[in-house]
Amino acid sequence: MVTLKQSVRILALVLLASSLFLEGMAQAVYVSNLQATYRNGQVFLTWTCPAGTGYKYKIYRSTSKLDKKSKITPSVYIGGYVMDSSSLNVRLTRKLGTKTFYSIEDGGPPLSANTGLYVVTCDSDAAYYYAVTVTRMSTGKEYSKMTVGSNTLASPVQETVADPKPVLQSSFVTGSTGETCYRYVQFGDHRNLPHYPYMFSQGSYGFNFIMIYRGNYVGGPLYVFYEGIEGNAFIGSGLEQFSSFAINNCIMISMDDWLPLPNGYGSGAGGNTFWTGYHENFNPYILTNPIPTSGTIRMYHQHRYIHTIRWATKYLPIDSNQVNLVGKSAGGFGALVTAMIIPEKINAVYSIVSPIKIKSYNLDPDTSDEQLWGKSNSRLLSDIKDKTTGTSLVAFDLMDIKTMIQKYSTIGLPIIYTIHGKNDVTVGWSDKPAYLNQNEMSWQGGVHFWDQRQHNGSGANFFDSEITPPFSQFRRNRSYPAISNCDINQNPGDGTVNSGDPSGAYSAYITFDSITDNVCKWTCRFTLNNYTIGGVAQGNYSSCYADITLRRTQNFIPAGGSTIKWANYDKDNVKIQSGSFTYSAGSRITIGGVKIKKSGNRLEVEIKNCTGREEEENTALSVEPYAFQVAQWHDGWQLTLPAALQASAQLQVIDMQGRICSSLPVELSPAPQTIQVTAPARGSFVLRLIAPDGHYERMVVF
């Protein structure tokens, strides 16, 4: 029998439960109008958000209909979420000072302020249902009651795995050159798929980049810009030496390094990763994260940059053998890191006043370096593999360019040009001489300059034109000689500002051309030249000595145990040096102490008793005497041939399978000339001009 006291207790509990139930019902929040659109290997989910803020939106996916709350389980949770204002392009909004919302189709209308957005990259060919729940951040309560057609789909989305494409947002005209800049957004998430890497730790997010088509860009080089923390390229101003048409006939992509930290809404709000990545458990949506002592540093941003490069080489009408990276300050460091990760894909790198090593200094209260990467003495592994061992690189080794140059001394790197300032207190000078010397000790290629500049360029002694790489002389699929330990290099000193020469360079005196790279023999012509600082010629030497290392050989690949012979000839074909050695498989080929003369000389390196054929197609010239220009024509392409010696040549049109589609005779002449070539079909082709003493190729699209 229930007593009166028990009845009162039961009634109180019922009233309390009813009160909590009613309170919970009053506070329940759900999305409505959930829609899903498949496009280019991604599903774009949009919905109408509930009123208010302080919510997190979680995404669920299943091959069966998610029509009941009981079906919203961890097994169908996609693992990612978005926060309030997920349709807002927060980075662009903060930089421009005007609210800017994402478009989810090329040139389409922007989403509205009360629209939520999540972009899913497809990982299988299947039909999926989606549902979206709302979690109140203040209480952690998730509202997962399902209403078909409102917060869960009534019909599945048929998905197909395909390469995602960045979405064109808008265009604007840059003030410096008057060119049209196209703004794109690349939507990535936290999943690392075989065809699309992870780009963010928590879920879907849209990242910005800018693209410019300059001059006759078809078949030309690609320049990828990594600029400083303030994102100058992101708003279209560009690096000074590229804000004119001295660099022409190319496509330019300007990328960004940014994290959506909730630290305000001014133009400088948010965070950065120094163009690298961060710990897998770091949450960019909160200001305080634990300092990791285990786990993996994932190079999210580097994966995004590298994917953008791969996308560009696959889908843009560029010469994939001329992908060049350019960066300033922290961006210069980012460009160098990319070159360490994919050296085989990069032609040349130009890094301007960049740091050489990044570790945790814990100087920024909003983006504590230690939260991103661990303590400065941390040995946490990255998700990048060492190309020499196949094991995971220590994150802080990857973020130390001097260490990476040493690690990769046998495989070689792209041609790298750098400029450093002795009075640069922002990134410092003290560690730069050691970096310069490590390049020498690792026999890497490139030219490295220093002068009296500060970080902002004031006090510079070199003109930009004196230190900008001659990009067009290099190609990723062409061998080049890495010049090191030249005995007339200037002295950078011991790392203190007043030691050594105030301005100077490593490997700036020597130029090279006329490379042949055959199965049995490699040759190159060298010349000792004066170079200038601020227009003033440096030195007046008749000869010097330097080490020459063969890098990126395409055909000259000796077997282990082969005898390598070499000889150095002057301009009169008189042998002035020679020698031989036994080659060890996988090692570099370095000829030490080669004499370089002002009048010029030729180095020949060959494999003893080699019987391989040395065909004309195996010959690659470092300087292209037949570098024709290409423009679109209504039936194909219009070519402008340069002046040349009178000779007969052949112009071939080759498809992507290497088949010759057409071939026509061309008479070279001392004056430039224009000819038209008919395209055999729509698609990508290679135009090859075969002359008596060399050939030149351009990739084109029709």
pLDDT tens-digit map of 296-355: 999 999 999 999 999 999 999 999 999 999 999 999 999 999 999 999 999 999 999 999
Q: In 10 A of CB 43, how many CB atoms? A: 20
Q: What are phi and psi of 414, to 5 degrees?
A: -60, 165
Confidence of residue 626 (pLDDT cuts 50, 70, 90): low
Supply 445's token pair. Answer: 């290629």
Instruction: Kindly state the helix (H) or strand (E) to which residue 469 belongs, with its residue range.
Output: none
Bigger pLDDT: 625 vs 93: 93
Is there a contact between 417 and 469 (Cβ–Cβ < 8 Å)?
yes
What pLDDT shows up at residue 341?
98
AA identity, residue 23: E
For residue 265, give every residue at least 6 positions away whose Cβ sits within 8 Å of its Cβ, in sequence order, or none.
93, 94
CA 515 to CA 438: how far, in whole Å? 26
Bigger pLDDT: 17 vs 246: 246
For residue 586, give every residue at least 6 positions away whose Cβ sits within 8 Å of its Cβ, in sequence order, or none.
410, 560
Beta strand pairing status for 220-226 and 318-328? parallel
- As a whole-number percent, the residues of the chain with pLDDT over 70 amount to 88
632: pLDDT strictly greater than 90:
no
* Sign (positive or negative) of CA dihedral 158, 159, 165, 171: positive
For residue 701, give every residue at least 6 positions away whose Cβ sits within 8 Å of its Cβ, in sequence order, or none.
218, 219, 317, 683, 684, 685
Beta strand pairing status for 510-517 and 521-528? antiparallel
Question: Sheet containing 381-385: which strands, arranged edge to edge?
Answer: 278-279, 296-298, 381-385, 392-394
What pLDDT shows up at residue 313?
94
Q: What are phi and psi of 454, to 5 degrees?
A: -90, 180
- Tens digit of pLDDT for each residue in 474-521? 999 999 999 999 999 999 999 999 999 999 999 999 999 889 999 999
**Which of the 8 DSSP states describes residue 389?**
T
Supply 280's token pair. Answer: 């897998």
What pLDDT shows up at residue 19?
43
Q: What is the mean pLDDT of residues 70-90?
A: 96
Residue with tokens 């729509």: 682
- Tens digit of pLDDT for each residue in 371-392? 999 999 999 999 999 999 999 9
For residue 25, give every residue at least 6 positions away whose Cβ sits within 8 Å of its Cβ, in sequence order, or none.
none
CA 354 to CA 339: how far, in whole Å? 14
Beta strand pairing status for 531-533 and 563-570? unpaired
Is there a contact between 160 and 92 (Cβ–Cβ < 8 Å)?
no
Confidence of residue 689 (pLDDT cuts 50, 70, 90): confident
CA 352 to CA 333: how far, in whole Å? 9
Distance set, CA 614 to CA 229, 602, 610, 618 (Å): 49, 18, 10, 7
What pLDDT shows up at residue 8?
44
SS3 for 625-681 is: CCCCEEEEECCEEEEEECCCCCEEEEEEEEECCCCEEEEEEEEECCCCEEEEEECCC
AA identity, residue 306: I
Characterize 58-77 residue by residue with b for buried, 16 or more Cβ atoms within 10 angstroms of its Cβ, and e for exposed. Answer: bbbbbeebbbeeebbeeebb
Bigger pLDDT: 5 vs 219: 219
Q: What are phi and psi of 428, to 5 degrees?
A: 85, 160
Three-state DSSP state, 540 = coil
Beta strand pairing status for 415-421 and 446-451? parallel
- Tens digit of pLDDT for each residue in 173-186? 877 778 888 999 99
For residue 347, give every residue at least 6 positions away whose Cβ sits within 8 Å of its Cβ, in sequence order, or none.
221, 321, 322, 323, 324, 414, 415, 471, 474, 475, 476
Cα 550 from chain centroid (whole Å): 25
The pairs formed by 494-497 with CB atoms below 8 angstroms and a separation of 24 or more are 494/433, 495/429, 495/430, 495/431, 495/432, 495/433, 495/434, 496/430, 497/422, 497/423, 497/429
- Domains annotated for the chain, with CATH where assigned, are 27-159 (2.60.40.10), 167-408 (3.40.50), 629-701 (2.60.40.10)
Is there a contact between 171 and 181 (Cβ–Cβ < 8 Å)?
yes
HSE-up of residue 389 (Cα within 13 Å, Cβ side): 8
Nearest residue to 272 (alpha-carbon basis) of 343, 346, 333, 211 = 333
What pTM was computed for the model? 0.83
CA 369 to CA 362: how far, in whole Å? 5
Kindly tell me the burial class for residue 618, based on how many C-beta atoms sit within 10 Å of its own C-beta (0-12, 13-18, 19 or more). middle
Q: What are phi and psi of 549, to 5 degrees?
A: -115, 130
CA 430 to CA 670: how far, in whole Å? 53
Confidence of residue 269 (pLDDT cuts 50, 70, 90): confident
Nearest residue to 548 (alpha-carbon basis) of 602, 585, 584 = 602
AA identity, residue 111: L
Confidence of residue 364 (pLDDT cuts 50, 70, 90): low
- Tens digit of pLDDT for each residue in 437-479? 999 999 998 999 999 999 999 999 999 889 999 998 899 999 9
Nearest residue to 692 (alpha-carbon basis) of 628, 640, 647, 627 = 647
SS3 for 415-452 is: EEEEEEECCCCCCCCCCHHHHHHHHHHCCCCEEEEEEC
Supply 672's token pair. Answer: 């430039």
Is there a contact between 399 and 358 (Cβ–Cβ < 8 Å)?
yes
Characterize 326-364 residue by residue with b for buried, 16 or more Cβ atoms within 10 angstroms of its Cβ, and e for exposed. Answer: bbbbbbbbbbbbbbbbbbebbbbbbbbbbbbbbbbeeee
